[in-house]
Amino acid sequence: MTLLFVDIEDSTSLVRDLGAGYIRVLEEFRGVVRGAVAAAGGYEVDCRADELFAAFERPESAVAAAVAAQKLLAGAAVKARMGIHTGRPALAGETYFGVDVHRAARICDAGHGGQILVSADTQSELNGSTRFRELGTHELRGLQRPERILQLVEPGLVLDFPPLRLDREPTDELSEDTEKPRMRVVLAEDSVLLREGIARLLEDGGFEVVGQAGNADELMLKVRSYSPDVALVDIRMPPTHTDEGLRAAKEIREKHPETGVLVLSQYVEAGYAMELLSESAEGVGYLLKDRISDVDEFRAAVRRVAEGGSALDPTVVSQLVGRRRRDDPLDELTPREREVLELMAEGRSNHAIAEQLVVTERAVEKHVTSIFAKLRLTPAAEDHRRVLAVLAYLQG
């Protein structure tokens, strides 16, 4: 199969400049690309925000679709970069996945608006009538085999572009140093503008947003297809905007335990938080959307959940800790120990708690030891195990 990825260049600036008008521009872009793909006999595999992924049985068809779309987009408000690669991707349901998919996506990422890039594998499958410009052999992020990349040359298309958008210089062989793979995120939010904003915040922070969804069904498809490290899920999603996101989050925890789940909510809904935590608090989080504005803390929370830890909104934690029960051991805690307990339940490390409370780590360690003794809980070595124990108690 020959795979085509199409992506809008600098979509964040377009969102900022066009505001609500971006939706119309995005739909026009999708319409152009979809029309070109269909006319060339291709199949739309996936569409997430400003990116469209299509598959073709013949490389000539993929090239024809890319050329037609670029010519139709000439002079439009958006500029699209395109990448084409031929390989043997795996098929699950109606979705392709595997290294060849990532290679096609990485080739697309390396280009500029108006540019069509192809892999050497695609060039070798063509009949020789298509003209190309050699752009060298490059390492692509996260892939072991370096890729020889070529630019498709076609009358009516822009010919000259800046150097490829790559972090490394061209090479003839793979470097001995391998780049640490970025944490992979699937993002589910029915508001396109908010979803785009969150995706940009995560990508700028070193995450890789591998899939975006506007409803629970799309979310489950993306999780099955991409096996992300963490899924960010809006708790209220179409069609009823009640608890679709929560139910999808619980299904992910049940069927895809290797994927962490961070639920985002507009309001404090402690009952939903408790339902999400009913099994364990490992690899799970619950945050109010207002927390996204604290970008560093938001990214840290996503990272904690992806690594198997916890991230609970301070407001929700306060409600859980504040619950009154008969013979409640929490009554034995000092005010400072309660502060430490709440920060522990949020998923904070001893170091982070010390910074928050402006005390030494040694002082925090003493408070933690005292808390476990008073709650009759045995502390574990890892931070997230400690959080699990505290939350197990908070759940009653």
Determine, yes or no, domain membership for 388.
yes
pLDDT, one tens digit per residue, over 188-199 is 998 888 888 899
* Residue numbers of the domain that contains 198: 184-311
Assign 168 a pLDDT band (cuts: 50, 70, 90).
very low
pLDDT average, residue stretch 22-42: 92
For residue 240, what is the domain's CATH number?
A: 3.40.50.2300
- Tokens 């569409």 locate to 47
pLDDT at 139: 87
What's the pLDDT score for residue 174? 35
pLDDT digits (tens, 9 = 90+) for 139-155: 887 777 889 999 999 99
Q: Are 140 and 7 found together in one domain? A: yes
Give the residue from 276, 311, 346 where a domain finishes. Answer: 311
Distances (CA, A) of 135 to 110, 151, 264, 349: 11, 7, 43, 47
CATH number of 75's domain = 3.30.70.1230
Residue 220 has a pLDDT of 92
**Where does a domain end: 253, 280, 311?**
311
Please give the model's pTM, rounded to 2 decimal places.
0.49
The highest-confidence range among 53-67, 133-147, 253-267, 330-344, by mean pLDDT, is 53-67
| Residue 171 reports pLDDT greater than 60 | no
* Contact predicate 186/192, CB 8 Å: no
- In a domain, residue 248? The reply is yes
> How sure is the predictor about 38, in pLDDT bands with cuts at 50, 70 and 90?
very high
Indicate the range of 83-87, 326-330, 334-338, 341-345 predicted with least confidence: 326-330
Measured CA to CA, the distance from residue 342 to residue 318 in angstroms comes to 7
Quote the number of domains for the chain.
3
Greatest mean pLDDT range, 13-17, 75-79, 104-108, 359-363: 104-108
Are both 231 and 339 inside the same structural domain? Answer: no
Radius of gyration in angstroms for the set of CA atoms belonging to the chain, rounded to a whole number: 24
CA separation for the pair 50, 6 (Å, rounded) = 8
pLDDT class of 68 with cuts at 50, 70, 90: very high
pLDDT digit string (tens) for 366-394? 887 787 667 665 544 444 456 555 655 55
Identify which of 281, 184, 167 has the alpha carbon closest to the alpha carbon of residue 232: 184
Give yes or no: residues 81 and 149 share one domain: yes
- Same domain for 303 and 359, yes or no, is no
230, 91: one domain: no
Same domain, 280 and 332: no
State how far the Cα of 104 lies from the Cα of 124, in Å rounded to an integer: 15
CA angle 88, 94, 100 (to 5 degrees): 25
pLDDT at residue 270, rounded to an integer: 63
Q: Are residues 190 and 293 in the same domain?
A: yes
In DSSP terms, 79 is beta-bridged to none
Give CA angle at 308 (354, 363), nearest 5°: 15
Indicate whether 163 belongs to any domain.
Answer: no
Give the pLDDT confidence score for residue 80 in this predicted structure: 93
Task: Answer yes or no: is 341 within a domain.
Answer: yes
Are 7 and 145 contained in the same domain?
A: yes
Position 209 in a domain: yes
Task: Provide the CATH number for the domain around residue 369.
Answer: 1.10.10.10
> What is the Cα 194 distance to its own chain's centre?
14
Whether residue 363 sits in one domain with residue 334: yes
Residue 166 forms part of a structural domain: no
Does a structural domain hold residue 288?
yes
Query: Which region among 113-127, 139-153, 320-334 has the lowest average model confidence (pLDDT)?
Result: 320-334
Q: Which of the four pLDDT bands, split at 50, 70 and 90, describes residue 173?
A: very low
Based on the domain organization, do 280 and 331 belong to the same domain? no
Q: Which of 153, 171, 196 is the last residue of a domain?
A: 153
Q: Are residues 301 and 265 in the same domain?
A: yes
* Confidence bin at 322 (pLDDT 50/70/90): low
The sign of the torsion formed by the CA atoms of 292, 205, 207, 389 equals negative
Same domain, 140 and 13: yes
In a domain, 177, yes or no: no
